Amino acid sequence: MFEHLPSSVSIYEVSPRDGLQNEAVTVPTTRKVRLIEALVASGLRRIEATSFVSPTWVPQLADADEVTRLLPRKAEVTWSALCPNARGLERARAARMEEIAVFVSVSETHNRRNVNKTVADTLAGFRDVVGPAVKAGLRVRGYLSTLWGCPYEGEIDPRAGLAIARELVGQGCYQISLSDTIGVGTPRQTAAILQLFLAEFSADQLAMHMHDTRGTALSNVMVGLELGIRTFDASVGGLGGCPYAPGAAGNLATEDLVYTLDGMGISTGVDLEKLWLAGQVAKAIVGHELSGKVHRAGVRSLRH
């Protein structure tokens, strides 16, 4: 067991976007920036800061232009934002983003609920985003949602997701984040999905984005580690969910992921104590308990 562990992995922090977009109350811009600054201070180097979508659809992120103007720009930090269309790309370029992300569901029903389009129409629309972004010097990441299961359709054939991933990579996406949007994945299922994708794509073209609805996110990450995946999405405090996925709990908590990897001798470049402090900032700005299980005493006991 655990025969093929890496010396290091990359964590892609999604709390400022995927986390805050699901909050019932809109967080003020200054508080969002305070959270982002705490994430950077912890050592996180890949951060999805916001989403350039219409405020009609995601009012919690209506301040995307202002947030990106206030980002603590550092050479070692890669900033990303979700961009669903050409207008979003214009805003991302104006904001000097280095990377953008596009998103599509494997489930037709979830995709219609999420963006009011078929999967085919969504992919066609990406041709106005992905290619032009790459040509302009931006890297583009693709989210493949509901790959493990859909709240409306139930089980999903991962081969349908593989076909979508081919299209995304063909358009120019450098990495596909495979997403268990509602947190139903189990280790054996995860192994089967990853083996299917790894037969066609290299491990560095894939990431895992696991939700922790049933407490299985870390178990699935362990499967990914064994199979060669080296990029994992996470959200401080477990912030997040999906407004169009009833019953979906938050993302895998970054603190829990870093604590586990640290204990296995796998470097993340993240200071766990500073990350715990970022979790406290997140808790303060959203005003409720979060799902990250790491406590300060646990951080200290790991160090000593």
pLDDT tens digits, one per residue of 5-55: 999 999 999 999 999 988 888 899 999 999 999 999 999 999 999 999 988
Q: Is the pLDDT confidence value at 304 over 50?
A: no
Does residue 193 belong to any structural domain of this protein?
A: yes
**pTM score:** 0.94
Q: Is the pLDDT of residue 129 over 80?
A: yes
pLDDT band of residue 1 (cuts 50, 70, 90) is low
**Any idea what the CATH number is for the domain that residue 189 is in?**
3.20.20.70
pLDDT over 90 (residue 62): yes
Q: Once rounded to an integer, what is the mean pLDDT over residues 244-263? A: 83
Domain with 102 in it: 10-303
Task: Pick the catalytic residue from 83, 150, 173, 242.
Answer: 242
Q: Which residues contact 59 (CB under 8 A, 6 or more apart)?
A: 26
pLDDT band with cut points at 50, 70 and 90 for residue 242: low
Question: Is residue 59 in some structural domain?
Answer: yes
Query: If you average pLDDT over every residue of the chain, what do you get?
Result: 93
Asked if residue 298 is part of any domain, the answer here is yes
Q: Is residue 1 part of a domain?
A: no
- 196 versus 54: the higher-pLDDT residue is 196
Residue 4 lies in a domain: no
242 a catalytic residue: yes
- Number of separate domains in the chain: 1
Residue 291 domain-assigned (yes or no): yes
Lowest mean pLDDT among 84-98, 119-133, 245-259: 245-259
Q: Within a domain: residue 15?
A: yes
Does residue 65 form part of some domain? yes
Which of 121-125, 236-240, 243-247, 274-278 has the weakest average pLDDT?
243-247
